Chains A and B, each alone.
Chain A
Amino acid sequence: MLVSTQAISPPNYHHHNHTNMPIKSPFETCVAKPGQGNVVLSLLPPSNPTLTTLTYKYPLKLLTRAPGYVPQSSALSCPTSRPVHLYLLTYGGGLLPGDHIAVTITLDPQTRLVVTTPQGSTKIYKTEPNASVKGHRGPSPAHALSDKSRQNIDVRIGREAALCYLPDPSVPFKDSRYEQTQIFTIDGTVQKDTHRSSLCVLDWVTQGRASRGENWDFHLWRGKNEIWSADETGAKKLLLLRDSLILDSELDEGCLENADETFHRTNLIRERTRPHGVVGTLILYGPIFEHLASFIMDRYTSQPRIGARNWSSSAPAVEETTSHYDAKVTFTASRVRAGFVLLKFGAPDFETAKNWLSDMFREEGTVMNEFGEEALFCL
């Protein structure tokens, strides 16, 4: 690894007891490309959640753990299975230019998977120009755009299965370029509401390393979350939800050679995200997260009216009655179609957003009850 931009303390993994080692399939192919990973979580009789597949290749690393947490109570009527944890890691705590992470995860019916990224943040690095393009022809290194790094996550969630995916935020470094696509496919043949798949997905991105003065100084960050419904064979697909964010400085190689143009353009992402230092989206679906979804909708609709006046006194505005963090975080929640609740937020900085999310999840309780405390590891 050529990463020297930031000291990264290695996370503590030694305490994880790997009780649920995957059963190696004799038919497993070992031809995975760099950065690819494949996970299948099955429920073996009588009620034993087991990773029947777990493969990964550098620079991706997947660790798992079955913490033995038994859900105390559940929104589901079926016997609740114990959640399994998957830690999504990359060497160096992030992605280098040209890295391509591609993880495929399958949740068989009635299983539960918690996915976290125990590295504090997903860093999107930019290779130093003089190190990356040595010997290349064409534009001088200072004018070259960084290679894109990419991450694709593809999750299939069976009936009555649940995914809780609350990762660290993406932290794109100055001049970096990154694209991620996360596709979640749920079982569309389910008729009864209580038999549906459930998912909770957080996706957030920060202005960069604020401690180094970075303020939306990257070149490109594109994030797309799609939820599809499909039958067992994967046919009859229908797009249920697409959440797509494009933070693009709209630079090309030509612009970089023109210093004036660069100066003019570099503030574009900052201008389009102002006044926020972090923006994010939380997607909720399915019976397990219904209570959380309602809680968030209530929280949103009970915010004080904007521009309301307190006529009973000379005070210019209504007294702040909301919680400490609600005053600092701008958010909107909407019950969009097919039962999805979409929460969008903007906050001045990472800590404020993290505390706000953490407070909300802990106060409401669903994630802790259904998946255990560790599901909130990143918060």
Chain B
Amino acid sequence: MTNKNNVQVLENEIHDLESRLRDAKSRLALTSTPKEGLKPSPIPQNPTLLDPTHALLLLSDTALPLGSFAYSSGLESYIAHNKPLPRGVTPTASFHRFLTLSIASMASTSIPYVLAAYRTPEALDSLDNDLDASTPCVVAQRASIAQGRALIGVWERAFRATYAADPLSAGSAAAAGSVERFSDAIKSGLDGVDQLGPKGHFAPLWGVVCVAMGVDVRQTAYVFMLNHAKAVLSAAVRASVMGPYQAQRVLASKELQEMIAERIDREWETAVEDAGQVVPPLDLWVGRHELLYSRIFNS
């Protein structure tokens, strides 16, 4: 915790110094060439070939073809199970409860796997097995595997050409190799009668792909959670719980940012063996999605 705070303090200091330097430079430019008026500041020099922000923007793009928007993560079932709402509870209030529960649950069950995979990409096989063993119903399992395999697809068809051809670091190269081997294992279909072969769960694959693309560990966890929040909010819009502007307002809110940061902090040092469900009814809602008479989502 203290270490993390120190890093934060240093980062803030660097940020502050950089902005002061830019400010001083621009003032110098103005004083040295008063006659020419406002000139554009010089192009910032980026020492690395591939800017990590670029990868981050790709991975947080809603156009990333992972199919995440086919899943409501239990929202659709939650709404059906809480119908009609008690007097005095608005659909928006009920949704906020779901969002809070869903974020806490996603963090406690998945963030340890995202972080473990980021820190030890070579353990992808066993992380995938352990997460599969920890997924309590087929609905959640299908959702996680579909998105994980889609991420492998995007990596192989799109990102690999850039990020594996010219790896950012030895760590990134190793992570890329880990995804390749894992993908081969899935394709060779070594799934016995017990179905205990590699599955392709989303959380550990996300961690490893982020290493391969040079994304910072904190941002890896943050974007994972933010993407989850986006998917739930997108589902809320399509389920007519709220309008698109209201959904964007929730996404932009300080409360959501703080909630995500707090849940990540809480799981920062959680071992995968200690990951678990903190919202037991969520397993029931997600599992019982199969029982809905009509469905617009896959989970």
* CB < 8 Å neighbour of A337 from B104, B196, B277, B283: B196
| A78-124 with Cβ < 8 A to chain B | none
* CB < 8 Å neighbour of A331 from B132, B195, B284: B284
* CB < 8 Å neighbour of A303 from B80, B141, B291: B291
Given contacts A272-B101, A272-B104, A342-B136, contact A307 B80 (CB under 8 A): yes
* CB < 8 Å neighbour of A305 from B108, B130, B141, B291: B291
Inter-subunit contact B137/A244 (CB<8 Å): no
Q: How far is the CB of A105 from chain B (nearest CB, A)?
A: 21
Which residue of the partner chain B has the closest CB to A191? B193
Taking CB atoms, residues of chain A closer than 8 Å to B281 are 272-276, 279, 330, 346
* CB < 8 Å neighbour of B137 from A273, A274, A305, A342: A342
Inter-subunit contact B276/A245 (CB<8 Å): yes
* CB < 8 Å neighbour of B276 from A224, A301, A336, A339: A224
Taking CB atoms, residues of chain B closer than 8 Å to A239 are 129-130, 133
Answer yes or no: A50 CB below 8 A from chain B CBs: no
Given contacts A238-B196, A306-B293, A307-B83, contact A337 B133 (CB under 8 A): yes
Answer yes or no: A75 CB below 8 A from chain B CBs: no
Inter-subunit contact B108/A344 (CB<8 Å): no
Answer yes or no: A128 CB below 8 A from chain B CBs: no
Answer yes or no: A332 CB below 8 A from chain B CBs: yes
Q: How far is the CA of A274 from the CA of B137 in the complex (A)?
A: 20
Answer yes or no: B58 CB below 8 A from chain A CBs: no
Q: How far is the CB of A179 from chain B (nearest CB, A)?
A: 10
* CB < 8 Å neighbour of B294 from A240, A248, A303, A307: A307
Indicate with 1 or 0, residue by residue over B133-144, a CB within 8 angstroms of chain A CB atoms: 111111101000
Indicate with 1 or 0, residue by residue over B261-292, a CB within 8 angstroms of chain A CB atoms: 00000100000011111111101100110111
Interface residues on chain A, number (Cβ under 8 Å) = 44
Taking CB atoms, residues of chain A closer than 8 Å to B277 are 244-246
Answer yes or no: B258 CB below 8 A from chain A CBs: no
| A224-246 with Cβ < 8 A to chain B | 224, 238-246
Indicate with 1 or 0, residue by residue over A247-284, a CB within 8 angstroms of chain B CB atoms: 11010000000000000000000011111100101000
Q: How far is the CB of B109 from chain A (nearest CB, A)?
A: 8
Inter-subunit contact A306/B134 (CB<8 Å): no
Taking CB atoms, residues of chain B closer than 8 Å to A246 are 108, 276-278
Taking CB atoms, residues of chain A closer than 8 Å to B293 are 305-309
Taking CB atoms, residues of chain A closer than 8 Å to B278 are 246-248, 272
Indicate with 1 or 0, residue by residue over B44-86, a CB within 8 angstroms of chain A CB atoms: 0000000000000000000000000000000001001101000
Taking CB atoms, residues of chain A closer than 8 Å to B36 are none
Q: How far is the CA of A330 from the CA of B274 in the complex (A)?
A: 26
Inter-subunit contact A344/B196 (CB<8 Å): no
* CB < 8 Å neighbour of A338 from B141, B194, B279: B194
Inter-subunit contact B129/A344 (CB<8 Å): no
Answer yes or no: A334 CB below 8 A from chain B CBs: yes
Q: How far is the CB of B290 from chain A (nearest CB, A)?
A: 8
Indicate with 1 or 0, residue by residue over B194-214, a CB within 8 angstroms of chain A CB atoms: 111000000000000000000
Given contacts A242-B130, A276-B281, A306-B291, contact A344 B136 (CB under 8 A): yes
Answer yes or no: A291 CB below 8 A from chain B CBs: no
Answer yes or no: A362 CB below 8 A from chain B CBs: no
Inter-subunit contact B194/A339 (CB<8 Å): yes
Taking CB atoms, residues of chain B closer than 8 Å to A328 are none
Taking CB atoms, residues of chain A closer than 8 Å to B274 are 244
* CB < 8 Å neighbour of B134 from A242, A279, A305, A339: A242
Given contacts A303-B291, A305-B291, A307-B83, contact A336 B141 (CB under 8 A): yes
Taking CB atoms, residues of chain B closer than 8 Å to A242 are 130, 133-134, 273
Q: How far is the CA of A334 from the CA of B141 in the complex (A)?
A: 11
Taking CB atoms, residues of chain A closer than 8 Å to B194 are 337-339
Answer yes or no: A335 CB below 8 A from chain B CBs: yes
| A299-353 with Cβ < 8 A to chain B | 301, 303-309, 330-339, 342, 344-346
* CB < 8 Å neighbour of B292 from A306, A333, A339: A306
Inter-subunit contact A346/B135 (CB<8 Å): no
Q: How far is the CA of A246 from the CA of B282 in the complex (A)?
A: 13
Answer yes or no: A16 CB below 8 A from chain B CBs: no
Q: How far is the CB of A308 from chain B (nearest CB, A)?
A: 4
Q: How far is the CB of B50 from chain A (nearest CB, A)?
A: 37
Answer yes or no: A18 CB below 8 A from chain B CBs: no
Answer yes or no: A33 CB below 8 A from chain B CBs: no
* CB < 8 Å neighbour of B280 from A240, A241, A309, A346: A346
Answer yes or no: A222 CB below 8 A from chain B CBs: yes
Q: How far is the CA of A345 from the CA of B135 in the complex (A)?
A: 16
Taking CB atoms, residues of chain B closer than 8 Å to A309 are 293
Q: How far is the CB of B91 from chain A (nearest CB, A)?
A: 16
Q: How far is the CB of B285 from chain A (nearest CB, A)?
A: 9
Taking CB atoms, residues of chain A closer than 8 Å to B138 are 334-336
B residues adjacent to A (C-beta < 8 A): 77, 80-81, 83, 97, 101, 104, 108, 129-130, 132-139, 141, 194-196, 266, 273-281, 283-284, 287-288, 290-294
Q: Can you list 12 A-B pairs with a CB-CB distance of less than 8 A?
A: A222-B276, A239-B133, A242-B130, A244-B274, A245-B280, A271-B97, A271-B101, A306-B292, A308-B293, A333-B287, A336-B137, A337-B194
User: Sorted from nearest, which 7 A-B pairs have the closest CB atoms?
Assistant: A244-B276, A332-B287, A305-B293, A308-B293, A334-B137, A242-B134, A279-B280
